[in-house]
Amino acid sequence: MRRFPRYPGTLALAVVLAGAVWYGKALERRERVSERQLDASVTLLNVPADMVITSEVPRVLTLRVRGPLSRLRSLDPAQTGVVVDLRGAGEGEHEFAVETRSVLVPENVDVLAISPSQLPLRLERVVQRRVPVRPRVTGEPAAGLAVGDVAAQPATVLVSGPRLQVEALRSVTTDAISADLAEGPVEAVVAVRSPQPLVRIIEPLAVRVTVEIVTAPAPSARKRR
C-alpha cells in the first residue's frame, strides 16, 4: 500500500487558524449589537442608452445600520453603497424605490432603513438638431469705425442633448473674437460653445467668423429747443 507523507506542522497550523476564526466569530456574536447612521454613495445602473438624467442626482443617501459594535466603529462609508437600477425606464418623471437589498454593506451588518426611500429622477430622450451660430465679438474698432456684419461659416451646427433643452435652444455662441482697435475686417477660426452643460456640440466644433469693419455713422445733430 502506498503511503502519503504526513505534514503534522501544516495540520496543526490549519487547526489553529480554524480555531482563531471560530473564536473571532463567537466573540462577534456575543458582542453588544449597536446601530449607526452613515451616508452611502449612490450608483445608477442600466441608464437607457437613448436617455439622459436631467434632474439632480443625490450624491449620497443616509443609511441606518445595525451590527456588532466593533464592526460599526471601524465601518468606513466607502465600504457601503446604494445601487439603483434604471433598466427599462422611459422618458418622464420617475420615483425609483430604494430597497435594502440594493445596499452594499460588509458582512454581519444589517440595513434597517434608507433615507430617502424613494429616488425622484427625470429622464429625457436624447435628440439632435441644427441650430444657428451667433459669434461673440468684443472690443471697439479704431476711431471713426464700427463693427458691421458678422458671419459664421458654417452658419449652423449640429447639437445633441435632452429633448426639452435642445428644442428650447435658439442658438449657440463662440469664443470671443476681438475687434479692438481694428481698422479692417477681422477673421478667425473659433470654437463653438454650448450654453447648456448637457447639450453637446456634435459638428463642427469650430467655425470661421468674419467681422466687417465699417465707417461709423455720424452722430445725429441734436434738435434745438
Is the pLDDT at 225 greater than 90? The verdict is no
Residue that wins the pLDDT comparison between 213 and 7? 213
69 & 139 share domain: no
Q: Are residues 43 and 91 in the same domain?
A: yes
| CA pair distance 38, 61, nearest whole angstrom | 8
Structure confidence by residue, pLDDT tens digits, 175-204:
999 999 999 999 999 999 999 999 999 999
Is the distance from CB of 137 to CB of 176 less than 8 angstroms? yes
Contact in structure between 201 and 166 (CB atoms under 8 Å): no
What is residue 200's predicted lDDT score, i.e. its pLDDT?
Answer: 96
The whole-angstrom separation of Cα 121 and Cα 151 is: 41
CB 147 within 8 A of CB 178: no
Among residues 87, 116, 145, the one where a domain terminates is 116
Query: What is the band of 20 on the pLDDT scale with cuts at 50, 70, 90?
Result: low
The label of the residue with cell 445733430 reads 221
Q: Please report whether residue 135 resides in a domain.
A: yes
Co-location of 37 and 71 in the same domain: yes
What is the grid cell recorded at 26? 463567537
CATH of the domain at 67: 2.170.120.30
Confidence band, pLDDT 50/70/90 cuts, at residue 4: very low
pLDDT digits 0-9 by tens, 87-115: 999 999 999 999 888 899 998 899 999 99
115 burial level (CB within 10 Å; 0-12, 13-18, 19+): exposed
- Average pLDDT over every residue of 26-40: 77
Give residue 186's pLDDT.
96
Are 110 and 134 in a shared domain? no
Our count of domains for the chain comes to 2
Do 160 and 104 lie in one domain? The reply is no
Boundary residue ending a domain (66, 83, 116): 116
pLDDT band of residue 26 (cuts 50, 70, 90) is: low
Contact 76, 99 (CB under 8 A): no
Tell me, yes or no, whether 176 lies in a domain: yes
pLDDT given at position 17: 61
CA distance 115 to 71: 22
Residue 127's pLDDT is 97
Residue 218 has pLDDT above 90, yes or no: no
Q: Would the pLDDT of 143 be above 90?
A: yes
Distances (CA, A) of 106 to 18, 64, 74, 77, 160: 21, 14, 11, 11, 41
Q: Domain residues for 77?
A: 32-116
> Percent of the chain having pLDDT more than 90?
72
The amino acid sitting at 86 is L
- Other C-beta atoms closer than 10 Å to the C-beta of 192 total 20
Distance, in Å, from the CA atom of 168 to the CA atom of 49, rounded to the nearest integer, reads: 22
Threshold 0.85, pTM exceeds: no
Ranges of beta strands (E only) in 3-32 are none
Whether 112 and 150 map to the same domain: the answer is no
